[in-house]
Amino acid sequence: MNNIKEEASNTSYSSFAKLLHWGFVVLFVYGIIKQVDSITQLEDNALLRFEVLFALAFLLLLAVRFIYVKKTQRSSLPEETPKMQKLAAKLVHYGMYACLAGIAGSGLLIGFLYGQGFESGLLIDSVIGLHELSVSLIYWLIGVHIVAAVYHRFLKDGVWSSMVPVFKEQNKES
Ligand code: HEM
Ligand code: HEM
């Protein structure tokens, strides 16, 4: 069984965890690039179907990632990291998961409502508002996440190299 919760701090993520992390970066960027610019675009049935399938696959993979990471991996923050910093990292990580699920979930709801004939009005406008809010929020969280990752690269405490395959720091063998 591979259900190993590493007890030692500062370990690297597994190859599968890295694949999921970086795969999601690609998937998310793709989702942003091909975003719906206006609700009227959903008149195109092929686009509507594609958006819904994309969001379903996105949600499914996100669930797989979340369960896998929670069951088998742990943060690579060193044991001696201040409690507040550990809490902040946890909040940002959970926040990003919540936003990713919120974006795909609200997108699916938009698709469902549109399919039911709601093309405008308070209900669909509110769900679109939620969709856009999740997008704005995750931009901020990703910004904080990247700044924190770069900060750890300067600290050379192993956090950067546990996930990022480039600009790795030298191993402090002691
Ligand atoms: C769409 C953009 C990104 C998202 C949504 C994201 C999300 C996450 C999440 C949720 C984790 C916790 C582990 C996991 O559940 O997989 C994590 C870990 C990590 N990410 Fe990202 N990430 C993004 C981009 C980046 C980028 C661009 C970098 C580096 C420049 C980076 C560096 C790291 C590092 C170093 C960790 C390990 C942190 C730790 O163990 O506490 N991430 N990321
Ligand atoms: C993971 C999947 C999805 C991603 C990453 C995504 C991403 C985005 C982004 C970045 C925006 C622009 C937000 C802004 O300008 O503040 C947006 C807007 C929107 N999205 Fe999505 N979306 C997804 C799924 C869906 C789905 C499934 C639907 C409906 C079938 C949908 C319908 C819309 C609509 C109607 C808007 C608002 C357009 C407007 O400004 O009027 N999205 N989406």
Classify residue 1: in a domain, yes or no. no
pLDDT at 32: 97
Phi, psi (degrees; rounded to nearest 5) at 94? -65, -35
CA of 123: how far to CAs of 30, 59, 66, 120, 135, in Å? Answer: 27, 23, 30, 8, 19
Residues 24-51, mean pLDDT to the nearest whole number = 97
Phi, psi (degrees; rounded to nearest 5) at 171? -65, 125
What is the band of 170 on the pLDDT scale with cuts at 50, 70, 90?
A: confident
Residues 146-156, mean pLDDT to the nearest whole number = 97
Residues 118-135, mean pLDDT to the nearest whole number = 97
The total number of structural domains in the chain stands at 1
Classify residue 36: in a domain, yes or no. yes
Determine the Cα–Cα distance for residues 54 and 66; give it in Å rounded to an integer.
18
pLDDT at 1: 36
Q: What residues flank ligand 1, with Cβ below 6 Å?
A: 17, 21, 24-25, 28, 69, 75-77, 89, 93, 96-97, 142, 145-146, 149, 159-160, 162-164
Classify residue 169: in a domain, yes or no. no
Determine the Cα–Cα distance for residues 28 and 58; give it in Å rounded to an integer.
9
Classify residue 174: in a domain, yes or no. no
Classify residue 96: in a domain, yes or no. yes
Classify residue 61: in a domain, yes or no. yes
Classify residue 127: in a domain, yes or no. yes
Residues 103-117, mean pLDDT to the nearest whole number = 98
Classify residue 2: in a domain, yes or no. no
* 128 has a pLDDT exceeding 50: yes
- Cα 93 to ligand 2 centroid, rounded to whole Å: 22
Q: Rg of the Cα trace of the chain?
A: 19
- Cα 117 to ligand 2 centroid, rounded to whole Å: 18
Q: What residues flank ligand 2, with Cβ below 6 Å?
A: 31-32, 35-39, 42, 48, 51-52, 54-55, 58, 103-104, 107-108, 110-111, 128, 131-132, 135
Atom 34 of ligand 1: nearest residue by CA position: 163
Range of the domain at 66: 15-163
What is the band of 6 on the pLDDT scale with cuts at 50, 70, 90?
A: very low
* 171 has a pLDDT exceeding 90: no
